Structure 1
Amino acid sequence: HAPPPLTRGVVLASGALLVSSPGSIWGMVEGDDCGKCELALCSEPKDCPAGTVLDRCGCCPECGNVEGQICDLDQGNHFYGQCGDNLECRLDADEARFGEVPEPQCVCKSQESICGPEGKTYENICQFNKAYATKRNISMKHKGPCESAPVISVPPQDVQNFTGNDVIFGCEVSAYPMPHLEWKKKGSKMFLPGDDAHISARGGPQKYGVTGWLQIQGLKKSDEGIYICHTKNKYGATYASARLKVIDGILCFVFFIWM
């Protein structure tokens, strides 16, 4: 059988050849130092979400480590690999704070959000580059989040429960500028919770959106119905609904005893 083709190579000072293939670590025929770089023996790596970096000998390109991947803090080392474009290797201070041994990870140098060409907001330039790594000549729409009408990413779900129990509806909305979120029961003009003590609404902002919850405590048969999550900002409004079915716990208990 013919030997596999060499994909990367550096001629060592001793005259030996240092070779590697995609997905493998460097192996030396003899010697342990880098010599003359033979670019003809290098192959261009494919599908590199974070771009390429030079190998341990500074000769051939290889895929750079992506955001969140373990990396070598010392540029002279080449065990975990070097971070790719727009990334730097840092220790996670949060891990050290909680008594854990921190591991160096690739972190995006800029944490400014990016608006992609399809109107989707990316957390940073590194996430944007990763999403479009296989596409050429794609440019961001602009720096900063995409401004858009609200989109309900996690709508409330239908639920059923017995009288006397509690239920919670959730609604998660993505949008920028920050959307406003309110709850209403179908057939009522009043937004919840109103002055009803057994119903409460709470929630909080996220980076580019808001999450809201509607809690109904001590269910009554009259609570049965359709509950609607309304959300809006200056670009538009939308809603999603879910049905609450309340089962009479006393009747079920009597039926169980009778059976």
Structure 2
Amino acid sequence: MPPPPAAALALPVLLLLLMVRTPLPTGARPSSGPDYLRRGWLRLLAEGEGCAPCRPEECAAPRGCLAGWVRDACGCCWECANLEGQLCDLDPSAHFYGHCGEQLECRLDTGGDLSRGEVPEPLCACRSQSPLCGSDGHTYAQICRLQEAARARPAANLTVAHPGPCESGPQIVSHPYDTWNVTGQDVIFGCEVFAYPMASIEWRKDGLDIQLPGDDPHISVQFRGGPQRFEVTGWLQIQAVRPSDEGTYCCLARNALGQVEAPASLTVLTPDQLNSTGIPQLRSLNLVPEEEAESQESDDYY
């Protein structure tokens, strides 16, 4: 049977196009889906593999674009720009991954381990890394983060209050957690605080006005800046805990604008108490009764 002529194949396609482009008669059932999606579909159908003459009325209006808008590959319609950290096209004339949004530029990410053969990827990065204070009283790492928040909450009318971070009292970002352990084991409490000006961290126990570690040699404290800008992290370490170490430990952070506290409790169990709870962790903690420990030491020597 001979193949149908080309004209016969083109006829159904032509009829489909006429049906799509012909307005619905009065009283007809409207097409499903929003009208802006239908207009965008019409444009894609007309373009095919290339770019049709630009008809803005056929462009779908992009929505929820947190990084702003950029022109599409044909330079006609608007589409959502790529956010910070998304893949992008280093060549402005290319249109594979997409283009970065306002205040962003496409850069090769060299933060990976290049010695292991990792290939740098082109990612959108903010041109500025200077912090800003928003009109909502929140500090943003840079202008791109503030613009994302403003587009996500348009009703808030978020703007830049001033360059630099907002002055604020301490805020606990990561608080210490209640914990328990067995005598002879080490315990560490951590506390992460954001503030501007930077906060200082102190550790107290059971509400006493005594700053740890005091003169106790088996308790130590450490501090460092970070992990984020304008944050400070403090640790309290108790080595070889004893029953007398049981209690409530408090991370106290303060600066010129205020102070905040975050408590956490420590419960200390003896090996016998641990056995009575039925928790099968005695061996995993490398704890053995004193008699068995002495026996093992004897085996080591003899």
Name the TM-score, length of structure 2 as normaliser: 0.73
More strand by share: 1
Is 1:65–2:85 an aligned residue pair? Answer: no
Contact 1:230 1:238 in 2 (8 A): yes
Unaligned 5+ residue runs, structure 2?
Answer: 1-15, 21-36, 279-288, 290-302
Structure 2 residue aligned with 1:120, among 121, 129, 138?
Answer: 138
- How many residue pairs match? The answer is 241
Which residue in 2 is equivalent to 1:7? Answer: 40
Q: Match for 2:99 among 57, 82, 107? A: 82
* Counterpart residue number, 1:235: 257
**1:211 matched to 2:230:** no
Percentage of matched positions with identical amino acids: 46
Quote the Cα distance in structure 2 between the aligned partners of 1:178 and 1:212: 13
Alpha carbons of structure 1 residues 101 and 219: separation in structure 2 relative to 1, 3 Å: same
Of 170-179 and 91-100, deviating more is 91-100
1:222 correspondence with 2:241: no
Contact 1:70 1:104 (C-alpha < 8 Å) held by counterparts: yes
Q: Which has the larger radius of gyration?
A: 2
Letter in 1 for 2:59: C
Paired with 1:86 and 1:8, the residues of 2 have a C-alpha distance of 30
SS at match of 1:156: coil
Q: Which has the higher contact order (CA 8 A, sep 6+)?
A: 1
Q: How does 1:30-179 map to 2 (within 5 A)?
A: 32=50, 34=51, 36-95=53-112, 97-98=114-115, 99-134=117-152, 135=154, 137-179=157-199
Q: Distance in 2 between matches of 1:167 and 1:116?
A: 39
1:216-239 per-position Cα deviation (integer Å, ceiling 9, x unaligned): 110101101111111111111111
- Deviates most, 130-139 or 203-212: 130-139
Q: CA deviation at 1:140?
A: 2.0
Q: Aligned to 2:204, which of 184, 203, 216? A: 184
Alignment partner of 1:200: what SS?
A: strand
Within 2, Cα distance between the matches of 1:254 and 1:236?
45
Query: 1:94: Cα distance to partner?
Result: 2.0
What is the deviation of 1:28? 3.8
Tell me what 1:13 maps to.
none
Name the residue aligned to 1:12: none
Q: Which amino acid aligns with 2:250?
A: I
Q: Would the aligned equivalents of 1:96 and 1:102 in 2 still touch at CA under 8 Å?
A: no
Secondary structure of 1:240's partner? strand
- Determine the C-alpha separation between the residues in 1 that align with 2:172 and 2:55: 55
In the alignment, structure 1 segments of 5+ residues that lack a partner are 10-18, 21-25
Are the counterparts in 1 of residues 189 and 236 from structure 2 also a CA contact under 8 Å?
Answer: yes
From the superposition, tell whether residues 139 and 246 of structure 1 become closer, same or farther in structure 2 (CA, over 3 Å). same
Q: Please give the secondary structure, in 2, of the residue aligned with 1:222.
A: helix
Question: Any conservation in 2 of the 1:67–1:87 contact (CA below 8 Å)?
Answer: yes
CA contact (8 A) 1:163 1:247 kept: yes
Higher helix share: 2
Structure 2 distance, partners of 1:65, 1:100, is 23
Question: In the TM superposition, what is the alpha-carbon distance from 1:85 to its structure 2 partner?
Answer: 0.6
**Deviations 1:193-229, CA, capped at 9 Å, x for gaps:** 1221211111211211211111111010110111111
Further displaced range: 241-250 or 82-91: 241-250
Q: 1: distance between equivalents of 2:180 and 2:68?
A: 51
- The residue type paired with residue 203 of structure 1 is F
Q: CA RMSD in A?
A: 2.4
Aligned CA distance change for structure 1 residues 29 and 115 (closer, same or farther; 3 Å): same
